[in-house]
Chains A and B, each alone.
Chain A
Amino acid sequence: SSELTQDPAVSVALGQGANITCQGDTIRHYHPNWYQLKPGQAPILVIFGKNNRPSGIPDRFSASRSGDTATLIITAAQAEDEAFYHCNSRDNDVYYWVFGGGTKLTV
């Protein structure tokens, strides 16, 4: 089965850019989805597929991929962006979803 690896924590100054990475072999085959998690709230999909934002997600969120690593890019981070971010993708070998361990973004 596949694994997705994320850095546990990233810090960014207000208004600066932040990159959150997700590394795993399945990334070579599938663009991951990215979720924002805040305590006590339902997780929110912020990026899906190659670089698509659901309705209502600010355009400061974007994504890229190179080889086995995908990156969630937050330009001009805002205070409300402080949250955990998890990547997810389909497993290479079996039919299920795998998640990264999550990255805590501190703004």
Chain B
Amino acid sequence: HLQQWGAGLLKPSETLSLSCAVSGGSLSGYHWSWIRQPPGKGLEWIGEISHSGSPHYNASLKSRVTMSLDTSKNQISLELTAINAADTAVYYCARDSGKIDLWGQGSLVRVSS
């Protein structure tokens, strides 16, 4: 089970911060992805972080994204800086076991001045 939380309404230029807790398991042995879906659009992979903390980011967002993990809390986190209206989306954390096989419930983040 993946439980997400974070601020849902942000202003342009602010930093988006989301966290995701893994319950009933650990971070070990998996990669952990963040994926988003803007309103009316398809899913977009933001990036992933391995259980050892090695990240891979979508090139289109790489300059603004930071992913991290806290193994002691079984949590992963996403930061996206300098946000704008195009970053309005439902954000999901997800487990990657070679396939993305478990998703969080999603967090709607709206960017509005």
Which A residues form the contact surface with B (CB < 8 A)?
A: 1, 33, 35, 40-45, 48-49, 54, 86, 88, 94-102
Q: How many residues of chain B are within 8 Å of chain A by beta carbon?
A: 23
- What residue of chain A has the Cβ atom nearest to residue B33's Cβ? A97
Given contacts A41-B105, A49-B99, A54-B101, contact A96 B43 (CB under 8 A): no
Task: Decide if B99 touches A45 in the complex (CB within 8 Å).
Answer: yes
CB-defined contacts of A99 to chain B, threshold 8 Å: 35, 42-45
CA distance A99 to B35 in the complex (A): 10
Number of A-B residue pairs with CB-CB distance less than 8 Å in the complex they form: 53
Shortest A100–chain B CB gap in Å is 6
Q: Does B53 contact A (CB under 8 A)?
A: no
Which residues of chain B (10-32) have a CB below 8 Å from chain A? none
CA distance A6 to B8 in the complex (A): 30
Chain B contact residues: helix, strand, loop or mixed? strand
CB-defined contacts of B101 to chain A, threshold 8 Å: 45, 48, 54
Extra inter-chain contacts (11) besides given A42-B92, A99-B43, A102-B42, CB under 8 Å: A33-B99, A33-B100, A40-B105, A41-B105, A43-B94, A54-B101, A88-B100, A94-B59, A96-B58, A99-B45, A101-B42
Task: Decide if B41 touches A101 in the complex (CB within 8 Å).
Answer: yes
Q: Does B56 contact A (CB under 8 A)?
A: yes
CA distance A48 to B42 in the complex (A): 19
Shortest A7–chain B CB gap in Å is 12
- What residue of chain A has the Cβ atom nearest to residue B56's Cβ? A95
- What residue of chain A has the Cβ atom nearest to residue B92's Cβ? A43
CB-defined contacts of B43 to chain A, threshold 8 Å: 35, 86, 88, 99, 102
Interface string of B32-61 (1 = CB under 8 A from A): 010100000111110110000000101100
Interface string of B70-113 (1 = CB under 8 A from A): 00000000000000000000001010000111111110000000
